[in-house]
Amino acid sequence: MAAETGPTGLRERKKAQTRTALASAAMRLALERGVENVTADAIAEAADVSPRTFRNYFSGKEEAIVAELVDGMGYIADGLRARPADEPLWESLRHALTFSAFLPPEQLEQLAVKVRMVMASKALLGSQLAIFERLGEQLTAVVAERTGTDASSDLYPRLTGVVAANALRLAVFMWLESDGRLDLAELTADALAQLRAGLPEPDTSTTRRHQP
C-alpha cells in the first residue's frame, strides 16, 4: 500500500490523469470540428500540456481520438474478471459484455455519437479496429486466468477472447445501423448465445429476430 501513496503512486496517477485529459480533449475536438480538422497541437493545447507531452502518450491524433473508447474496453475486461469464479464462462461473458444495459440513456446516446463518428472516418479505420483488438486481448487474458490455460500456447483463450470481442463489435454496428431501434444489450446477448450454442442454422420458417 505504501507504493500507492508514495512518489511512484503519485506519478502514475498524474500520468493517468494526463492521458485521460488528452483523450477527452481529442474526442471532444473531433466531435466539434471533425477528425480532419483536429491536430495533435490543438489536442495538447486543449488539455493544457505541451506538444512534446502529447507525443509521450500518443503516436498521433488518430490514436488519441479513439483512446477514450479503447480505454473503456478495460472496464469490460474488469467486469469479466469480477464475475464469480464458479459461474459458467459464457454466462460471465454475457454479464460483462452487456454493460450497455446498465448505462443511463444519455450516456448510451453519448457512446453512440462517439462510436458513429469513429466509424464514419476513413482516417480512423485502423484505430477503430484497435478498439476491439484491445478488448480481444484483454478478454483473452481473463479467459486464460479463469480456465487455467496458457494464451501463448492454447487456442481456447485466444479464440474465445477474439470471438467475444467481435461479437460485441458486430452488435455495436447493428445497433448503430438501426438508429436505436434495436437494443445493444439484447443484440450482444443474442450474439453470445448463438456462439455458445455453436451457431446453429437459423430457422427460416419463422420471422427473423432482429428486424428493424
pLDDT of residue 91: 97
Residue 168: is its pLDDT beyond 60?
Answer: yes
Q: Which CATH architecture has domain 1-58?
A: Orthogonal Bundle (1.10)
pLDDT reported for residue 2: 43
Listed residue (75, 115, 67) closest to 98, CA to CA: 75
Read off the pLDDT band of 127 (50, 70, 90).
confident
8 A C-beta contact, residue 163 and residue 140:
no
Write the pLDDT tens digit of every residue in 54-70: 999 999 999 999 999 99
Mean pLDDT of 58-87: 94
Q: Which of 173, 99, 165 is nearest to 136 (CA)?
A: 165
Q: Tell me which amino acid residue 185 is.
A: A
Q: Is residue 32 over pLDDT 50? A: yes
Relative orientation angle of helices 7-33 and 61-81, to the nearest 10 degrees: 120
Place of cell 439484447: 186
Contact 80/96 with Cβ under 8 angstroms? yes
Selecting from 3.60.40.10, 3.40.50.1010, 3.40.190.10, 1.10.357.10, what CATH number does the domain 62-199 have?
1.10.357.10
How many whole angstroms separate alpha carbon 155 and alpha carbon 140?
10
To 10 degrees, the CA torsion angle through 171, 177, 179, 182?
A: -40
Q: Is the pLDDT of residue 211 over 90?
A: no
Asked if 1-58 and 62-199 have one fold, the answer is: no
Out of 7-16, 59-68, 148-157, 175-184, pick the least confident.
7-16
Domain boundaries, the chain: 1-58, 62-199
Find, among 162, 174, 29, 194, the residue nearest to 100 by Cα. 174
3-state helix, strand, coil in the chain (%, to 5): 75, 0, 25
Task: Judge contact between 134 and 70, C-beta under 8 A.
Answer: yes
CB atoms within 10 A of CB 113: 13
Residue 21 near residue 49, CB atoms below 8 Å: yes
Cβ contacts of residue 26 below 8 Å, gap of 6+?
A: 38, 43, 58, 61, 64, 65, 67, 68
> How far is Cα 24 from Cα 3, in angstroms, rounded to an integer?
28
